[in-house]
Amino acid sequence: MKIKIIALGKIKEKFLKEGIDEFLKRLTPYASVEIIELSPIEIKDENLTEKVLEQEAEKILSHIKPQSYVITLEINGKHLSSEDFAQKIDTLTNDGIGEIIFVIGSSCGLGKSVSARADFKMSLSKMTFLHQFARLILVEQIYRAFKIIKGETYHK
């Protein structure tokens, strides 16, 4: 399975970078995971937010192939338990999906065209997280999902 995480912004805090790197290392026996960091566009006028989100969307969509399965992280996305998330990944794998792309937008969200391209919209929580935390939580949950799929003990 090939997994890509497209995220706007860079991880600045050392402890978050170390955590993400640790889970990426742990994932190597299960999947090929690549993180694509894109630069967010600064919003200087809040009246231009939608326009900026669509400019960011163009950058995001340029990294997505037509056959890729896209999961966007969105406030109004579906909430899944870790077991349900594992089942989702397992089902996609069994259905022959070769690449799953997770998209984490900027602090203002995602452009409508990215949301429209999503095959599945997911929310990590009803709580709001910094985008950098969301990336760490996502890679940990992907790792947890593979441990659940394989029947290994990490997830207990």
* Residue range 52-111, pLDDT digits in tens: 999 999 999 999 999 999 999 999 999 999 999 999 999 999 999 999 999 999 888 899
pTM here is: 0.94
Q: What is the pLDDT of residue 155?
A: 56
List pLDDT tens digits, range 32-49.
999 999 998 887 787 888
Q: What is the pLDDT of residue 41?
A: 85
CA separation for the pair 58, 113 (Å, rounded): 8
User: What is the overall mean pLDDT for the chain?
Assistant: 94
The distance from CA 64 to its chain's CA centroid, rounded to whole angstroms, is 13
What's the pLDDT score for residue 5? 98
Phi then psi dihedrals of residue 101, to 5 deg: -115, 125
CA distance 75 to 118: 14
Q: Render pLDDT for 112-135 as a digit per residue (tens, 0 to 9).
A: 999 999 999 999 999 888 888 999
Q: What whole-number distance in Å separates Cα of residue 72 and Cα of residue 74?
A: 6
The CATH number fitting domain 2-155, selected from 1.20.59.20, 3.40.1280.10, 3.40.50.720, 1.10.10.10 = 3.40.1280.10
**What mean pLDDT do residues 128-148 have?**
94
